[in-house]
Amino acid sequence: MLNGKVIVLGVTGGIAAYKAATLCSRLVQRGADVHVIMSESAKQFITELTLQTLTKNPVYSDTFDERDPSVVSHIHLADLADLVLVAPATANVIGKMAHGLADDMLTTTLLATTAPVMISPAMNVHMYTHPAVMANMETLVSRGVGMIEPGEGLLACGYIGKGRMEEPDSIVEVVERFFSERNSEPAVKLDKGGDHSMEANLLHGKKVLVTAGGTIERIDPVRYITNDSSGKMGFAIAKVAKQLGANVHLIAAHTDEAPPADLNVERVGSAEEMYEAVLRQFADSDIVIKAAAVADYRPAQVATSKLKKLGETMTLELVKTTDILENLGQRKSSQFLIGFAAETNSVEAFAREKLERKNCDLLVANDVSQEGAGFRTETNRVQIYDAKGLVLDLPLMAKEEVAEQLLKLAAERLGRRSS
């Protein structure tokens, strides 16, 4: 799977550095050409000789250790890499990366490379959840750095919690999946700079209908039922779809922020209003993506004047709203239908049940109980299912990147269908 791929492996100074040996060995076994760069503190935990022996390549740690006079080592490695993987990534290196510091061989290489970068954090649970570290990780994710989330369990420091570096075999799986998805991608690639002219044709001529935000179900003129959706996920999809050349119609319920510029935005309030708006656009849509959080129930009666405080308790009778997605699933002809599922438990089972019941082509499941995933966050962590099962299990990434992956998958499947 990794034949011919050059992986620059950054090893930084935490106890999990001992796992770097297994990781090197597994990557090499799968055909990768692995070049290790260690931080000075990593050398307290594992020797250069171990990693050199496993990779059959020199191990670097000193920026000024120029072994080959014909090249500048850190630029050479930066250019050579198909992927730079930092495992384990300490809080320190994450902080340096987030702030663009370059004070050793690894961080200079990281600044110099244009290759994709992934990190596999490992640290004490309190360090991992420290607001500074979380903010640094969010910064990296928003710049497109892939995050291989640490697992939970007994940490070397004695605490139980999140912070244990992902096991080498799982990291190798993520790396393999990354390259296999990349190989199956169309020749076009979104750059991170916002100029998406290269792939402007991927959805050219397609109408993409997107819903975003949380519906508002009125109780009386001053009160309503809603949910935590900010609209960020739906907005990201609409924005990227437009960058890919689609004609986008965005239907937005209650959201926290302004929708992307230069888009057709139709504002709605309740689930029923969204249903009507969606139906008006559905017939000539090619792809329909329901990222909105739609209320399942609404008050049976909407009071026309403000309800008065009367007794100690109050009962509100709720009735079911129309399930828009399910309804579209029954009506669809050629439309490619994508649903979302916001879950907190049994994610796969609920996601697959919704996919089938609502007759979707793809279903994007997000476990909204996870850090950085679901409502209001800049990032999301999703699994994408089709009728046969899991299609893509994406690491934590910026919502625009989730959108990019999802839209490329939809474009590819739509293309396959019409050919």
Residues serving a catalytic function are: 157
Residue among 296, 346, 369, 390 that touches ligand PMT (CB under 6 A): 296
**DSSP string for residues in 332-367:** -SS-EEEEEEEESSSHHHHHHHHHHHTT-SEEEEEE
Rounded to a whole number of angstroms, the minimum distance from the CB of residue 366 to ligand PMT is 5
Per CB under 6 A, the list member of 342, 362, 392, 397 interacting with ligand PMT is 342
Are the C-beta atoms of residues 317 and 300 closer than 8 Å to each other?
yes
Q: Which is nearer to ligand PMT, 167 or 326 (CB)?
A: 326
CA atoms within 13 A on the CB side of 318: 12
Query: Is 290 among the residues that bind ligand PMT (CB under 6 A)?
Result: yes
Peptide bond into 168 cis (omega under 30): no
If one asks whether residue 356 binds ligand PMT (CB under 6 A), the answer comes out as no
385 binds ligand PMT (CB under 6 A): no
User: Binding ligand PMT by CB under 6 A: which of 77, 374, 406, 410?
Assistant: 374
**Closer to ligand PMT at the Cβ: 109 or 379?**
379
- 338 phi and psi angles, rounded to 5 deg: -120, 120
340 binds ligand PMT (CB under 6 A): yes
How near is the Cβ of 231 to ligand PMT at its closest, in Å?
5
- Contact segment (CB under 6 A) with ligand PMT among 21-29, 154-162, 217-225, 286-294 equals 286-294
Q: How far is the CB of 143 from ligand PMT (least distance, A)?
A: 19
Closest CA to 356 of 327, 334, 336, 386: 386
For residue 376, state whether it binds ligand PMT (rule: CB under 6 A).
Answer: yes
Does residue number 396 form part of the binding site for ligand PMT (CB under 6 A)? no
User: What's the CA gap between 81 and 236, in Å, rounded?
Assistant: 29
By the 8 A CB rule, do 362 and 380 touch? no
Q: Which is nearer to ligand PMT, 229 or 285 (CB)?
A: 229
If the CB atoms of residues 122 and 237 are measured against ligand PMT, the closer one turns out to be: 237
Distances (CA, A) of 368 to 51, 351, 376: 39, 13, 10
The total of other beta-carbon atoms located within 10 Å of residue 372's CB is: 17
Of 55 and 229, the one with the shorter C-beta distance to ligand PMT is 229
**Alpha helix segments (H runs only) across 211-338:** 232-243, 271-282, 324-331
Helical H segments across 185-295, by residue range: 232-243, 271-282
Any residues with CB less than 8 A from the CB of 347 and at least 6 apart, and which? 341, 365, 367, 383
The reply on whether position 297 binds ligand PMT by CB under 6 A is no
- Determine if 292 is a binding residue for ligand PMT (CB under 6 A): yes
- Quote the least distance from Cβ 185 to ligand PMT, whole Å: 23
Does residue 323 belong to the site contacting ligand PMT (CB under 6 A)? yes
Among residues 233, 240, 265, 394, the one that binds ligand PMT under rule CB under 6 A: 233
Token pair, residue 370, equals 């996870």
Q: Which stretch binds ligand PMT (CB under 6 A): 54-62, 68-76, 94-102, 322-330?
A: 322-330
Q: Does 231 bind ligand PMT (CB under 6 A)?
A: yes
- Asked if residue 61 binds ligand PMT (CB under 6 A), the reply is no
Report, in Å, the least distance between residue 116 CB and ligand PMT: 24
**# residues contacting ligand PMT (CB under 6 A):** 26
In this chain, which of 19, 354, 381, 408 binds ligand PMT, going by CB under 6 A?
Answer: 354
Helix axes 19-29, 48-55, angle to 10 degrees: 10
Radius of gyration (C-alpha) of the chain in whole angstroms: 24
Q: Is the dihedral of CA 401, 402, 403, 409 positive or negative?
A: positive
Write out the residues near ligand PMT by the rule CB under 6 A.
229-233, 271, 290-294, 296, 321, 323-325, 339-342, 354, 366, 368, 374-376
